Structure 1
Amino acid sequence: MKPWFVAVLTLALLAACGQNAAVSTRTVAGIGTVLTDSSGKTLYFADQEAGGKVVCTASCLAIWQPVIATSDPVSGNVPGKLATVKRPDNGKSQVTYDGKPLYTFQVDGGPGDAKGNAAKDTFGGVSFSWHAATTGGAAPDNGGGSGGTTY
């Protein structure tokens, strides 16, 4: 059975059980196995949020959307640790992977896109370096990122 099929089947079963199936995986060319949200979009983290400290707030959220948990995050095939951290701006629980808060990228068109990998931008005086979250940690810099704040 193909790994992507297992991931889709696992998500369907977890959703049918009424659990929060927030994170799964898929293979993205040039990057490897990336974490995805329930709709298949690539998930990212920023170096500046090491240790679970959320600093992407306000205008940053127009480009980087936090993955919000409605219950404890569940995964059928992600090898790292899923948990949550309370956001300082609205008190919602944001999903983390190995302590790193996770986001989707507004510019990604859908499943399989990873345009935010190696992106660098600045919001509220904080310079961010973004990486696609992979099962091996950070994705390699494949030159696919935006490289600046012009999206």
Structure 2
Amino acid sequence: MKSVSLGSAILLALFSLSAHAADPPVKKMNGMLVDSKGMTVYTFDKDTANSGKSACTGPCATNWPPVHADGATMAAPYSTVTRDDGSKQLAYHGKPLYTFAKDKKPGDKAGDKVKDVWHVVTD
């Protein structure tokens, strides 16, 4: 009987560890922020820092997908904003974070300086 409950306890501990071992939504790589897939992360000048909102909705959000917070808890300077649909978007220094649909592989930065309002997030 003890081996079964010990085995169950070990399985539960392993499951718990794997549930908490998920990749963070963003990380620093090569002097810039990238998402968990290594795609470049951007900010939008029309977003107001610390407003708790994103100015990029509708077709804008199709071209500039938000970096979702996905329940991650990250320390400052990271925070979250609530999008119009109720989903949580990750923010850096109060500015919502996005990727760019035209970036096809990790390291692409096709969105940098688009219309002089989109910028790669650097260290």
Query: Same fold by TM (over 0.5)?
Result: yes
- In the other structure, the counterpart of 1:148 is none
- In the other structure, the counterpart of 1:57 is 57
What secondary structure is seen at the aligned counterpart in 1 of 2:89? strand
Describe the superposition over 1:21-42 as per-residue Cα deviations: whole angstroms up to 9, x where unpaired: 1110111xxxxx1100000000
Instruction: Give the TM-score normalised by the residue count of structure 2.
Output: 0.76
Runs of 5+ unmatched residues, structure 2: 1-16
How many residues align structurally?
105
The CA RMSD over aligned residues, in Å, is: 2.2
- In the other structure, the counterpart of 1:83 is 79
Q: Which has the higher contact order (CA 8 A, sep 6+)?
A: 2
What secondary structure is seen at the aligned counterpart in 1 of 2:61? helix
More helix by share: 2
Instruction: Give the TM-score normalised by the residue count of structure 1.
Output: 0.63
User: How far did residue 17 of structure 1 move?
Assistant: 2.6
- In the other structure, the counterpart of 1:17 is 20
Tell me which stretches of 4 or more aligned residues in structure 1 moved more than 4 Å.
Answer: none
Greater CA drift, 63-72 or 99-108: 63-72
| Cα distance, 1:55–1:91 mapped onto 2, change above 3 Å | same
What secondary structure is seen at the aligned counterpart in 2 of 1:60? helix
Larger radius of gyration: 2
